[in-house]
């Protein structure tokens, strides 16, 4: 059985909405944490999702106008922290764990969405873009899981170590 034809414009619109929501989520999470390492990581993720949004926007704008130039991707690197990680009080730790749990779930769903879009894409540069986006969402999920593990087991952020 063949997969249904991809309505690329509609798929891009959905992906752009998901990226906008992810950016807003990470920006809010950055404001909600008192830990500088957590704030830096959430701010970097918000910037990354904004990059995804603008890349998808360029793809959307290119539809019907010729070949898509492609997507180069971007890196996610922490800044070196100015101070050592500090233990969080139970309330802040719980808030940060809840934010991480929601983010892990969202990144898992985003990765699956991009893998599905890649499987349906007919144009090679578009397929490669969706594959790269899926890889980047996988990286985000792994980073978030590492932070979740550290907060759960060590009671502190490890972003930047």
The model carries a pTM of 0.86
Query: What pLDDT is recorded for position 59?
Result: 82
Per-residue pLDDT band for 127 (boundaries 50, 70, 90) equals: confident
CATH for 8-61+89-153?
A: 1.20.1260.10
Query: What pLDDT is recorded for position 85?
Result: 75
Distance CA 102, CA 24 (A): 13
Query: What pLDDT is recorded for position 77?
Result: 67
Query: What pLDDT is recorded for position 56?
Result: 87
Per-residue pLDDT band for 3 (boundaries 50, 70, 90) equals: very low
Domain map (residue ranges) of the chain: 8-61+89-153
Query: What pLDDT is recorded for position 101?
Result: 96
Q: Look at residue 2 and tell me whether its pLDDT is greater than 50.
A: no
């Amino acid at each position: 059985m063949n997969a249904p034809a991809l309505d690329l414009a509609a798929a891009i619109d959905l992906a752009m909405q998901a990226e906008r929501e992810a950016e807003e989520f990470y920006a809010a999470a950055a404001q909600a944490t008192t830990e500088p390492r957590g704030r830096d990581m959430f701010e970097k993720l918000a910037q990354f999702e904004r990059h995804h949004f603008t890349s998808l926007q360029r793809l959307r704008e290119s539809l019907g106008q010729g070949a898509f130039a492609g997507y180069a991707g971007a890196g996610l690197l922490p800044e070196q922290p100015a101070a050592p990680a500090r233990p969080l009080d139970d309330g802040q730790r719980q808030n940060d764990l809840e934010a991480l749990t929601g983010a892990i779930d969202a990144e898992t769903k985003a990765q699956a969405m991009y893998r599905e879009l890649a499987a349906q894409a007919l144009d090679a540069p578009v397929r490669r873009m969706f594959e790269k986006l899926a890889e980047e969402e996988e990286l985000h999920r792994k980073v978030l899981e590492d932070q979740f593990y550290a907060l759960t087991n060590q009671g502190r952020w490890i972003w930047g170590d």
